[in-house]
Structure 1
């Protein structure tokens, strides 16, 4: 059955459904109506399915016909994507752009940059993976991603080209019902030390590196969203990107903790980078995405 099916037959079927008649489909496709009718007859005979009821002047799709028209649309769209990817590859465009993204990366600037990329290459497949802390760099080094977007801690590695995109502010926070939120004045290291600190950790090893850890009791998370759930539930305190807790702070679910100088530990803004391996620079789509993200 499949060997007798052609894209032309599917295109004719969809055009009839869209235009409402065999004659209108013929005009739209610059074909004689008899050629349209013959194509439909051949399709029905070869597939053993009646696609149209023909009791009156206008053919009506059968129930099976309506289902198969939608399948035909999917096949034609897939074929168009196949041709577009092949055409792009012939001109040097990546067959797929794979991005690995650290959890602290704000979504909105990335979405806007990808919108521009999609407008230019609408058929370009884009693959995302959101990683644990440091996971984007590991995917880059294992050739599973063309670009890594995220933090590079404790410093930028020598084997990557890293372009600074933006900064994020980390703020110490706890749930409004947490004991630390009830202590007046500046919190010292002694105040923080007994309480569970919710640590966003790397999955590279059983422990992974710690950044800005002040408490002796540590609960480790790979998932930033899961850590936020526990934070809201009052299970501990941690530093969170301000953009992720802005609404929680405004609505009183979380409280920003005020720390004494000796307890601030890691402070200041952290830089978000777009990085690629020096030995494997990105193709046209990757370079266009980088340029758009660098515009800010």
Structure 2
């Protein structure tokens, strides 16, 4: 009975013993495992023996200089490997925290922000900071600044003409917005520049990220018939189905434009083709840390 109770307790050096066990199997021998871990062979042998005593059965078959998993060793190996991997991730995380480097970056992304630029920056950032965790959240201008001020997000990828005085930004390009509709839509059949009045009679499909907000972007509503949606992909599908028109950028309908399924509408009124700066924004009182600065640099690369 006493021995059974003891086995339910966690061994004080369990992670070290599991690491030795896993490494012996993966390296192929006790001596190879000792070289990998920078420990003496006797220390590796002791760890495996202690682990086997703790388990109550042999994990490795020894013979003629080679080792292999026993049947029970195979049964527990995957769990042992997971524990060791998690312990190594924990140690790496702790080292980063000790050095003052963040391990998570929470980024708000304007729904009209060019995704090709963002994706390129994310790939480069991920290759440089393999243990950092990125969290992306869709947003829009009317809620973005409030979200940043509340401190739940680190940066914002914004497409805007101006930023609030309590924010700081680094711009790295421009994007022109325009109205888009399906090739079968009435607006697509208008010859020459479409007059602004023609849009008023057609349904506008509009992004709304917060049900308490009626209009997200000041000056971007031009119709008396408005549908609001909180999902960019759903807006794309509605436009493709001919349900209405929306503001966007060429990347929003890149494939459909190439296939002739969507039209970029040319309007005589320049308000329908605004040019906006694209860049990274953060609160003045919370400047980017090491990860944030690195991410910004990748975003600014052409």
TM norm structure 1: 0.85
Question: Who is 2:169 aligned against?
Answer: 162
Question: Who is 2:273 aligned against?
Answer: 267
* CA displacement 1:199-257 (0-9 Å, x = unmatched): 12342733133442222100112221211111111111112111121211111221222
The 2-side partners of 1:109 and 1:73 are apart by: 38
* CA displacement 1:97-147 (0-9 Å, x = unmatched): 222222222233333334444444433333332334544333211100111
Question: Who is 1:51 aligned against?
Answer: 59
- Runs of 5+ in structure 1 lacking a partner? none
The 1-side partners of 2:83 and 2:104 are apart by: 20
The 1-side partners of 2:43 and 2:32 are apart by: 12
The structure 1 residue matched to 2:207, chosen from 188, 200, 212, is 200
The 1-side partners of 2:58 and 2:139 are apart by: 50
Contact 1:178 1:234 in 2 (8 A): yes
Q: How does 1:59-74 map to 2 (within 5 A)?
A: 59-62=67-70, 65-66=73-74, 68-74=76-82
Contact 2:139 2:209 in 1 (8 A): no
Q: Quick one: structure 1 residues 11 and 247, their matched pair in 2 at CA, closer, same or farther if it must change by over 3 Å?
A: same
TM norm structure 2: 0.83
Give the match's secondary structure for 2:260: coil
Question: Who is 2:266 aligned against?
Answer: 258
Contact 1:101 1:131 in 2 (8 A): yes
How far did 1:274 drift? 0.8
Question: Who is 1:229 aligned against?
Answer: 237
Q: Quick one: structure 1 residues 284 and 214, their matched pair in 2 at CA, closer, same or farther if it must change by over 3 Å?
A: same
Give the match's secondary structure for 2:273: coil
Stretch of structure 1 that moved more, 131-140 or 196-205:
131-140
- Alpha-carbon RMSD across the aligned residues, in angstroms, is 2.8
- Runs of 5+ in structure 2 lacking a partner? 1-8
